[in-house]
Amino acid sequence: DECRPTRIEMFRSIERRDRKKFGAACSPGAAWALLWPVGAEVPTAVCDAAAFRASIQAGAHGGGTSAAPVASAPAGLVGPFLGMALRSGAGADVAVIYGALSEDDFPSLAAFLREVNALSASSSPWRVLFRHGDDAKDNSAADALTGYGFELAIKSSEYKTHAEEKKDDSGEGGEEGRADGAEDGDSDGGDGDLQQQEERRLDGPLELDGLLFHVLFEENPVLRPHLWALKDQLEVEKDTDAILKAWEIKDIGLQAAAKVKASATPLLQLMRLSQNFPAQVAGLVRTSLPEALRRGAASLRRVVQEGGEVFSLNGRLVRPDHSELSLFPLATKLQPFFVGVERLVRAGLSEATACELLQESHGIELPERLDWRSSELPPAVYVVSKDKKSQKWSSSLRSLMYAFMGGLAPVRLPLYTVVFVFDPIDVADLKMAHTFLQQTPLPMSLHFVMLPAGAAQKHATSWDEQVLGKAPSWLSPPSSSVGSSGGGPTALLTSEISSIISASFGYILNGMPGGQHVAGAAKRARAFVKALVAGLAGTSSDNDGVQQLKVPNTEESIEAVKTICRTHLPEGVDVEVAWKDIRQSISDPHGYIANVTKYVATLGVPVPSALVNGKLLLKGAYDGQQSIYPVIAYEQQVFQRALYMGQIGDDDNLDAFMESRGLLSAFHQDITPDVAQRGGEDSLPGETIEVAYLQWPSETFLALPFLHSLEPLEDKESIAKDQLHFFHVTILTEMAHANLLHAFASHLLKPDRSVLTGNKQLIVPAFASHWSVVIDHEGVGNSMSELAACVHGTVRLGLTAAAADDPEATATLNRQVLMLLKFLGTAIPAAARPDAMLLPKNVREICELAISKKLDPGLHEQANALVEAARKPNIEEDAPLRGIAAFAAESARAKRKSQGNGHAAMWVCNGRQIALDADSQPVSPRHVQALELMEAQYDVGKAGGDEEEEEDDEEAMMRQQMGMGAPRRQPAALPVKALFQWLRESQVASQGNALPKMVHGLVAAIRSEALSHGKNERYAQPKTIFESAPAAMRLKLPPARPEAASPIKVYGILDPLSSTAQSASAALALFGMTFNAEVNLVLNPVLRHSEYPLKRYYREVIRWPARLA
């Protein structure tokens, strides 16, 4: 079994483990040995040469006085590696000697060397291997890795050319240029110099630098190609100081490309030409130039400009300068990739599949719009189709094509849905709402969502008896001063007066209670907003009959709102009855405030903010002189382009068209921060959060109990095999996190995939969600321990059916347990109010209520027994849960310390780690859907079309610098290999057993973390250029060992006589030799030179560090 590069790294990890596990009893720095007799599952450690000799003579079991006892190795871990050639010695006994070559540690190693020499003399069957040991001065866990260094002199030479009239190509000079070459033809220069040199003959005896080449050719006919190359090299080096004429070097760039193409070792030839140009130039000008290569170079100009250079390394952009295109920067860029490959191999994937998975996985641009549509969205306060000022506007979308430059097209259609979320007590935001109304008529529908700032973040709800049943006797109704009429001059809070204003606006906008619609409600709501602005800003006059609102909030402020509300109620409405309804609607779980609070919390938008066709604008983005006009202008261009391309027509639904372009289900600062548009300094680059991934311990993760989503699959058996799996783990540390139970249980009970299926821009496989909840608590008898017993006990109820291998019973119990957890996630936040501490007995009563309501009666006794058993510590059953909680706490400790965010809950989805404080933005089922789509970006394909491909600013700049044309049209939809297909292929390739479904979560986490490094540098243009370049200019070098995994894939456009080639050639050659890399180059030389392209010799001098981590 050949030792491949990635496998060598795996063996280094094994050796590191051996040094820690078996060599702990030996003195640090001293040489020691591990003896592995044939058939032994546990090695014997010996700490000095005398014990080594005694153990060898006794068959590794007699042992000397210095033999260290070795603990039993874990089953299934050491055994598989014993059969590998690196240790087994093809069936022989193996002795692995660890030692350091330092001055202080070498004497102990020398003693072992003498014993090994004695073994060789006695023809012992033992096979001895030497491994690097730990230095006494540096007993760290790092490995010293072998490497390649360059330490050659750097010379400087200002080359000169002799200016002379250029001779005609058909004259003597042109003939000399072809004298030694093959006949020009239509080939692309693929025939190498080595093949051409076999036909050459010496004119007579030849001696160069003491070598008799006529004798060497005669005696070594097999080596003739290499002897000819050596002869040419020696002849060239004899003439390094020759002064060449200008006409002789005109084609030197093309000649260099031809010489590289013709070489049997192109990368080494490229390195010789570029780094040692003085010694090569005299012979290079005599190189034949195939006509096919000249034509290919001319054709290449249609693809890329002359001398343009760029590289991609495993799909990452590498800029053509020494700061990036040299060994250590490239190694830094590849480090996450190699770590990912090793982790994937340990997870059970084959090496080839692991390398291909990381190379071929490419993230896509995900939707940037939020799905603003919801049943909780209040009615529009303005609709252009009902505005009398727009009666003369056209109702056809074709009017968009006749808009004036820089202006909006007058179309009497609600092209733009604007949702403005704000706190009505904030004067600036209230004025902005009034500004939106003043800017009409506009082709839009405008919605105002008024609610107190922070209401959605608090997510505190009252006990809803329609959902939860009768409230427990110990739960007193919440106290509220909003519904009272008394109180001192400062009895009200800002949120309370804001609630009254919001409830008044909702009452006027929605019409009378009971759903009775009143004509003109939107018009009165607009007038109400105008009056509020006048009152808060102090601009009202006595003639308006509007009192100025007073802050701080007092009863006088309420009376001011009542006065404003009175003037905007429909005729014939009893003001006192209406005011009473408004005051009562504040606490109504189905009233205006409850609806808008649920809308904001579910969608996740902050207060204040604005939405324009789903584009989220934070305060700095809309609070300017132009307001939302720039966004509306961009949206108009989107509609114009779609109309021109035939994607929409007059009869089409515009909301459905926006959905087809892709929507995100929700916004969350820690999940989708890039969706929000910011203004001012906040909009500068570098403001996005750093994504963190958590790599679970595999054994602990695979032992977790998971609940599963109820996907609406028509053909479950066939589709279930092709699902993309998302494994969620939530770790709750405080009672304030109980609302997460509701969010995740709701998502799994009814996963809303409509946003995915409605997106026509993406090719999305079927999704499946899985969830495991861990309650991290200390001690027993407290509220958190009661919640942990209830949750963990009922979850185990589903495992009993799964253990019985009854799919139908498992699905039924899975649904009921999810309903129970959703009940807990609703009841506990409603009961755990700040004015009512939740006692352990209260949590127990809520748990019993949930079991009685959500589980079948026949399961009550078993569920109560499991909950009671969960109250008692069980080391074996609780091990996975406690192991996950401890691992997550250790991972988050440093982050909490640096950010100071307290004891946070943890949410991990396929490795993506999100810390949730008690006061942070709440999580809704829509947030779970949004994160799943974010983490599916490597398994989602992009549909083809006729539109131009989108590119970022850096890609556009690079394309312009290289002289490339306009962006390409989108190709036809290409299938994207999803993760379940990669796992299936790895299983087939390794001919092993099927991997557990939960391995999907581990592999997804490894892949996402590896690809998250340098994510913004994803660059595919070099590969595109390579595929479209003429064959004569392409240089494709497959891996040196085709049967082995190739962890590096390079695409590049390179001028062979450039400073970039000087630094790149050595690194590329090193990657090809050491890492079995695949190198694909487009040779892009300058077509005509009038002076030497390289003015200096070049050698890279590297001083390798003593250790690499």
Which range (391-405, 709-723, 921-935, 1079-1093) has the least confidence?
Answer: 709-723
CA 906 → CA 730, 746, 780, distances in Å?
6, 18, 22
Mean pLDDT of the 419-435 span: 89
Residues in the chain: 1109
- What are the DSSP calls for 305-334, one per residue? -TT--EEEETTEEE-SSTTTSSHHHHHHHH
Give dist(CA 59, CA 38) in Å, integer.
Answer: 10
Mean pLDDT of the 366-375 span: 89
Give dist(CA 1015, CA 1020) in Å, integer.
Answer: 13
Q: Which of the two residues, 1010 and 881, has the higher pLDDT score? A: 1010
Give me Rg for the CA atoms of the chain: 37
| Token pair in block for residue 365 | 């641009």
pLDDT of residue 1002: 93
Residue closest to 591 by CA, chosen among 466, 506, 511, 528: 506
Proportion of the chain above pLDDT 90, given as a percent: 18
Categorize the per-residue pLDDT at 968 as very low, low, confident or very high, splitting at 50, 70 and 90. Answer: very low
Residue 992 has pLDDT above 80, yes or no: no
CA 483 → CA 555, 575, 876, distances in Å?
12, 16, 53
pLDDT of residue 444: 92
Which range (193-202, 203-212, 418-427) has the least confidence?
Answer: 193-202
Give dist(CA 517, CA 499) in Å, integer.
Answer: 22
pLDDT of residue 899: 47
Which range (89-103, 499-513, 696-710) has the least confidence?
Answer: 89-103
Categorize the per-residue pLDDT at 42 as very low, low, confident or very high, splitting at 50, 70 and 90. Answer: confident
CA 531 → CA 114, 119, 476, 544, distances in Å?
100, 102, 39, 9
Q: Which of the two residues, 919 and 908, has the higher pLDDT score? A: 908
Give the pairing type, strands 94-99 and 127-132. parallel
Q: Which long-range contacts (CB under 8 A, 24 or more apart) does 625-631 make?
A: 627/432, 627/435, 627/436, 627/439, 628/418, 628/436, 631/677
Mean pLDDT of the 508-535 span: 78
Residue 829 has pLDDT above 80, yes or no: yes
Categorize the per-residue pLDDT at 767 as very low, low, confident or very high, splitting at 50, 70 and 90. Answer: very high
Most confident of 494-503, 519-528, 689-698: 519-528
Residue 242 has pLDDT above 80, yes or no: no
Residue 780 has pLDDT above 50, yes or no: yes
Residues 1001, 1005, 1008, 1014, Cα dihedral to 10°: 180
Which range (45-59, 440-454, 710-724, 965-979) has the least confidence?
Answer: 965-979
Residue 931 has pLDDT above 80, yes or no: yes
Residue 741 has pLDDT above 90, yes or no: yes
DSSP E strand boundaries for 943-1003 = none
Categorize the per-residue pLDDT at 159 as very low, low, confident or very high, splitting at 50, 70 and 90. Answer: very low
Which range (208-222, 347-361, 683-697) has the least confidence?
Answer: 683-697
Residue 269 has pLDDT above 60, yes or no: yes
Categorize the per-residue pLDDT at 265 as very low, low, confident or very high, splitting at 50, 70 and 90. Answer: confident
Mean pLDDT of the 468-489 span: 58
Mean pLDDT of the 782-786 span: 88
Which range (9-13, 627-631, 771-775, 1064-1068) has the least confidence?
Answer: 9-13
Give the pairing type, strands 211-212 and 207-208. antiparallel
pLDDT of residue 563: 85
Residue 192 has pLDDT above 50, yes or no: no
Average pLDDT, the chain: 77
pLDDT of residue 791: 92
pLDDT of residue 960: 53
Categorize the per-residue pLDDT at 928 as very low, low, confident or very high, splitting at 50, 70 and 90. Answer: very high
pLDDT of residue 74: 36
